[in-house]
């Protein structure tokens, strides 16, 4: 099937791992994504793709803000939590991790590799996902190496890729 071949092909494309968060009148929500990229430097703009059934998708649309928290290579547990692979006691994904607000009020990790705090300027649905385009309102920079996902596992940036943990 073309879909299966497509998923296999996309698994070959290494991507940074991010947690996209939002907060506002529609509530606080977050989800792990690997589809994030720069759109423009003038003005600073990024895009992220979020599955249409994710509670975070509806919250981002309603709140009009989101923060892309690019994870460092020591933060795979945060990724697993927001991907729903590691449930938290009490069910709040935000528990056990330190957060702060930047310009928009969307939750930003206290210690991200990078946090890109955005105002939603455009969104459209394509297939199973919404594409959110956000103008960057604030940035927090951290230190370290990015958490990378490829071949259905987290990877380090050593040469060759060293598997860090298998994803479910």
* pLDDT value of residue 161: 46
For 128-164, write each residue's pLDDT tens digit.
Answer: 999 999 999 999 999 999 999 988 889 877 544 445 5
**Alpha helices for the chain (secondary structure H):** 2-11, 55-63, 76-82
* pLDDT value of residue 159: 45
* pLDDT value of residue 66: 98
* pLDDT value of residue 158: 53
* pLDDT value of residue 91: 84
For 10-40, write each residue's pLDDT tens digit.
Answer: 888 788 999 999 999 999 999 999 999 999 9
Range 83-99 average pLDDT: 89
* pLDDT value of residue 108: 98
* pLDDT value of residue 35: 92
Q: Does residue 6 surpass a pLDDT of 70?
A: yes
Token output for 42? 């003038």
For 107-123, write each residue's pLDDT tens digit.
Answer: 999 999 999 999 999 99
Residue 36 located in a structural domain: yes
Per the structure, how many domains does the chain have?
1
Token output for 142? 């951290």
Q: Could you tell me which residue, 166 or 58, shows the higher pLDDT?
A: 58
Residue 124 located in a structural domain: yes
For 138-151, give one letter per residue: b (16+ CB within 10 A) or e.
bebebeeebbbbbe
Residue 162 located in a structural domain: no
Residue 105's domain spans which residues?
2-157
* pLDDT value of residue 114: 97
The residue ranges of DSSP E strands in 9-128, in sequence order, are 15-16, 18-22, 29-33, 36-41, 44-51, 65-70, 99-101, 107-109, 114-126
Residue 11 located in a structural domain: yes
Q: Give the CATH number of the domain where residue 30 resides.
A: 2.30.110.10
* pLDDT value of residue 166: 47
Residue 166 located in a structural domain: no
């Amino acid at each position: 099937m073309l879909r299966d071949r497509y998923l296999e092909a996309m698994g070959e494309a290494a991507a940074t791992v991010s947690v996209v968060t939002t907060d506002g009148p529609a509530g606080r929500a977050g989800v792990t994504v690997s589809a994030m990229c720069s759109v423009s430097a003038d003005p600073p703009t990024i895009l992220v793709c979020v599955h249409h059934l994710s509670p975070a998708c509806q919250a981002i649309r309603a709140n009009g803000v989101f923060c892309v928290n690019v994870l460092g290579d020591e933060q795979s547990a945060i990724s697993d939590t927001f991907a729903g692979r590691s449930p938290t006691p009490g069910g709040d994904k935000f528990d056990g991790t330190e957060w702060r607000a930047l310009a928009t009020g969307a939750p930003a990790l206290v210690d991200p590799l990078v946090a890109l705090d955005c105002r939603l300027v455009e969104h459209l649905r394509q297939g199973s996902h919404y594409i959110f385009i956000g103008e960057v309102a604030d940035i927090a920079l951290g230190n370290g190496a990015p958490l990378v996902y490829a071949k259905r596992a987290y990877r380090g940036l050593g040469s060759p890729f060293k598997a860090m943990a298998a994803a479910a």
